[in-house]
Structures are given as C-alpha cells and as structure tokens.
Amino acid sequence: MSNMMQKFVEQELENQIKQNYPHMQYPPGLYARVVSVKKKGELYEATLKILDKNKQPDSRFPEVPGVKTDIIILKNDIVAVVLMYGECSPYIIGRCF
C-alpha cells in the first residue's frame, strides 16, 4: 500500500512541476554547438544544437534557429546558453573552451 502512495506522490509532484514550474525541468545553463552562423550587421545569428553535460547532442531538444548574439562565434563552437524562464529560447552567455 505504501508503494502506491509513493507512486501517487511522485506523479503528483511531477505534474505540479510541469504545470507550475516548467523552468525546473531542465538545467538553467546548457552547452550548445553552433550548427551554422551568419553575421548580420553587428550581431551574429546562429542555429544551435543543445548538448548534454558530456557535450553530446541532447535528443530532447530540436535545433534552435535564429539565436542572436553579439559574441563572436564560429560554426562548430561550443557555447554556454541559458534557457530564459524554462522556454526553449536560448540566450548565449559565452564560448566554452
């Protein structure tokens, strides 16, 4: 019986996080690989592929096009990004070496 209660609590907690705190489902800072990049005036516009902590492609995320930054980036660079408010809208905070 206690196992059923534990599963119920776990499921309810998972549902509450998804509904009320979606930004807690993923780490706030992630690695991403620059798939492509174009210089547009003073800014760079990149397509990013989110990576896992081992710097391998993370299948939970699609490629994200149209990410703008003023940081100089090149194709295949690995950058650090944050997901603003839990949305799949990365903001580049720097290059990773």
- Per-residue pLDDT, 1: 57
**Interior CA angle at 7 toward 5 and 9, to 5°?**
70
Higher pLDDT: 17 or 88? It is: 17
Over residues 40-56, the mean pLDDT reads 96
The Cα–Cα gap between 38 and 81 comes to 18
Length of the chain: 97
- Per-residue pLDDT, 94: 96
Residue 19 scores a pLDDT above 90:
no
Of 58, 72, 66, the closest CA to residue 91 belongs to: 66
27 bridge partner residues = none
- Per-residue pLDDT, 95: 96
> Per-residue pLDDT tens for 67-79?
999 999 999 999 9
Residue 18 scores a pLDDT above 90:
no
